[in-house]
Every structure is written in structure tokens, then in C-alpha cells.
């Protein structure tokens, strides 16, 4: 049974370890396996002639035990930021669940389903991404389900009223997403989220995202489009925009990437349009091995129409384990 549990861990860890780090098994016997993952990262950002240093320490623990002879395992996962620049310890994930190679059900603080699509363009070490604009992100008191059917992946999540959330109100809401691998390097995705406005039970925020990606050997390109209604923005509550991202691997060590993000909020058509984001980012990353990388990135604001618009130069190093 020990080998079977470890095999299940490889599959479920891919779903559980949302930080993207590779898991290392630190304990395993006939009944239990425990995997450890984490990140240590430091970078410096130069903007408006000011240098800001950022430090991140992160650790996650995944525990699993087989509960049926047909391949189902129970799991528990916790991930926490141990040290950040603001000296705040932040709980990122904490959930329990059960699943097999094709299905996983979780409850606790989990990801919403929107990440299935925002991951298409969230590929760089620096710069902002549509992943930062999700209506529902890491949510507490949430029930989430992921299923894989050959080339199709479906995720759904429902957040119950109450419980803490990641920079979002604590009201009830749900999200649904699907991703389909069409073959020939083409993948399509769609996602939708709907959530009660804090203090306004009769109003609901909603967000729709569509994505597509293409990969061929060492080339990758993707686009994500979003359309949302966010009542906190007042009259300019209709949000829409798109993000493009691409990368090119020169070899196993050097990866070049770039992205462009545009996001606007509108009221009465385009009569009172506000630009929320209009920026381009280029990155160069050097991977010494799968665990250690260094990177440099430059983000350029285009047009300067929005507040706090400034160009940024970032240099950093990251160790994953």
C-alpha cells in the first residue's frame, strides 16, 4: 500500500500545492504520507527613484492517507507566509478533503475556480496580472471540487457566508471554470464568479473570464479577457479588459517572457471611461535548476492615465523546495 499512497500523492499534490512549488515527501509509511513545499524569495524594486526590498518566506504541508482500496485518499493541506516585508504572517490555505487521480473535494480556505483561467497569463516573476483582479481568490469557508475528464478539467467552488477571505468581503458566492485541451498545443478556458455585495444582499458582483493558450516546443502564448460588475467602484462598476502573455525558452536555463495588461472601468458606455491598468512587462529568468532561479523584470506604464502610474525595475532570486 505504501507505493500506492505515494503514487496518489503525486497526483493530488499537483492540485493541493497551489504555490507552484514541487513537493518533497518527508515521511511515508503504509498508512500515511507527508509532503513539504515552500518558497524563499527576495527582490528589490526601483520605482520613482526609490528602492523597495521585498522578502517572502512560505511553507506548505500536505498530509494524505488512503481511505479506500479503489484509490481514494483523504488529505489535509496548510500553507502559510512565514515572513513578508510587512512582518505579517498570513495564512494562505487550510483545508481538508478527499479525492483520487481524477476527482478532489475540499473544504476550508481554498482557491476559487477563477484561477484555472487566470493561470493562462500569470506566468512571470514580476509585474501585475489579471490573477490580482479576481473577484474571488483564496476564500475561507469554501467548498471546492475539481474533476478531470481526459482533456477536460472542471473546477467549481461555493463560499458560504462568513469566514475570513483574501482581501475580499466575506459574503457568500460561487465560481465555476472549465479548461479544455484541444490538442496541437491549444487550450481554451472559461470561468464565471458571482458574489453578494457586502452589506447589500440584493446586489451581486459578477465576473466572466475567457482564455486561450498555445504552446509549441519552447514557445508559449496566451490571452485572457474579463468582463465584470464590481459595485464598490460606484458608477464605474463595469470593468473590462484583456491580458496577453508570452514566453520563449532559449534553453533549459534562460526564459524570456512578456505581458501586456489593459483594464478599464466604464459608466454609460465609454462616456466616462477610467483606465485602471495599461502596462507592459518584460522578464528575463535564469534557472540554475528547478529549485533556484534569478530574474530581472521591467514594467512600463503606458499613457499614464491612472493613479500611481510609474515604471518599475525589479531584480530578485527565488528558492523553491
Condensed to tens digits (0 to 9), the pLDDT of residues 37-88 reads 999 999 999 988 788 888 888 999 999 999 998 889 999 999 998 866 555 5
Hey, what's the cell of 206? Answer: 459578477
Hey, what's the cell of 49? Answer: 527613484
C-alpha dihedral sign at 71, 72, 74, 80: positive
Strand pairing report for 24-28 and 186-197: unpaired
- The Cβ-side half-sphere exposure at 168, using a 13 Å CA radius, reads 29
Residue with cell 455585495: 197
Report, at the CATH architecture level, how domain 102-320 is classified: Beta Barrel (2.40)
Average pLDDT over residues 139-160: 96
Hey, what's the cell of 74? Answer: 483523504
Interval 181-217: pLDDT, tens: 999 999 999 999 999 886 555 678 999 999 999 999 9
Q: Where are the domains of the chain?
A: 102-320
Question: What is the Cα–Cα distance from 203 to 302, expressed in whole angstroms?
Answer: 34
CB 101 within 8 A of CB 15: no
Confidence band for 307, pLDDT divided at 50, 70 and 90: low
* pTM for this prediction: 0.86
Helix, strand or coil for residue 130?
A: helix
Residue with cell 476559487: 112
- Return the number of other C-beta atoms located less than 10 Å from residue 181's C-beta: 15
Partner residues linked to 222 by β-bridges: 213, 245
DSSP H stretches of helix in 102-257 = 115-118
Amino acid at each position: 500500500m505504501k507505493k500506492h499512497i505515494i503514487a496518489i500523492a503525486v497526483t493530488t499534490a499537483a492540485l493541493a500545492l497551489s504555490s507552484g512549488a514541487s513537493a518533497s515527501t518527508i515521511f511515508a509509511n503504509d498508512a500515511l504520507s507527508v509532503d513539504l513545499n515552500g518558497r524563499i524569495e527576495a527582490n528589490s524594486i526601483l520605482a520613482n527613484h526609490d528602492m523597495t526590498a521585498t522578502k517572502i518566506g512560505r511553507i506548505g504541508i500536505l498530509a494524505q492517507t488512503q481511505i479506500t482500496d479503489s484509490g481514494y485518499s483523504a488529505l489535509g493541506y496548510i500553507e502559510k507566509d512565514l515572513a513578508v516585508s510587512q512582518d505579517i504572517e498570513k495564512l494562505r490555505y487550510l483545508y481538508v478533503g478527499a479525492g483520487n487521480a481524477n476527482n478532489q473535494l475540499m473544504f476550508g480556505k481554498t482557491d476559487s475556480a477563477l484561477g484555472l483561467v487566470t493561470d493562462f497569463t500569470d506566468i512571470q516573476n514580476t509585474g501585475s496580472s489579471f490573477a490580482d483582479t479576481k473577484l474571488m481568490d483564496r476564500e475561507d469557508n469554501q467548498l471546492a471540487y475539481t474533476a478531470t475528464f481526459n482533456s477536460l478539467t472542471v473546477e467549481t467552488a461555493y463560499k458560504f457566508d462568513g469566514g475570513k477571505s483574501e482581501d475580499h468581503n466575506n459574503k457568500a458566492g460561487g465560481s465555476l471554470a472549465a479548461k479544455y485541451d484541444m490538442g496541437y498545443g491549444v487550450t481554451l478556458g472559461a470561468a464565471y464568479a458571482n458574489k453578494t455585495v457586502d452589506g447589500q444582499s440584493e446586489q451581486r458582483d459578477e465576473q466572466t473570464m475567457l482564455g486561450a493558450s498555445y504552446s509549441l516546443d519552447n514557445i508559449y502564448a496566451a490571452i485572457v479577457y474579463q468582463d465584470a460588475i464590481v459595485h464598490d467602484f460606484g458608477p464605474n462598476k463595469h470593468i473590462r479588459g484583456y491580458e496577453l502573455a508570452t514566453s520563449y525558452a532559449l534553453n533549459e536555463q534562460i526564459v524570456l517572457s512578456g505581458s501586456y495588461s489593459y483594464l478599464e472601468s466604464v459608466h454609460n458606455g465609454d462616456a466616462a471611461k477610467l483606465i485602471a491598468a495599461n502596462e507592459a512587462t518584460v522578464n528575463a529568468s535564469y534557472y540554475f535548476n528547478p529549485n533556484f532561479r534569478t530574474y530581472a523584470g521591467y514594467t512600463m506604464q503606458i499613457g499614464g492615465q491612472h493613479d500611481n502610474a510609474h515604471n518599475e525595475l525589479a531584480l530578485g532570486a527565488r528558492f523553491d523546495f
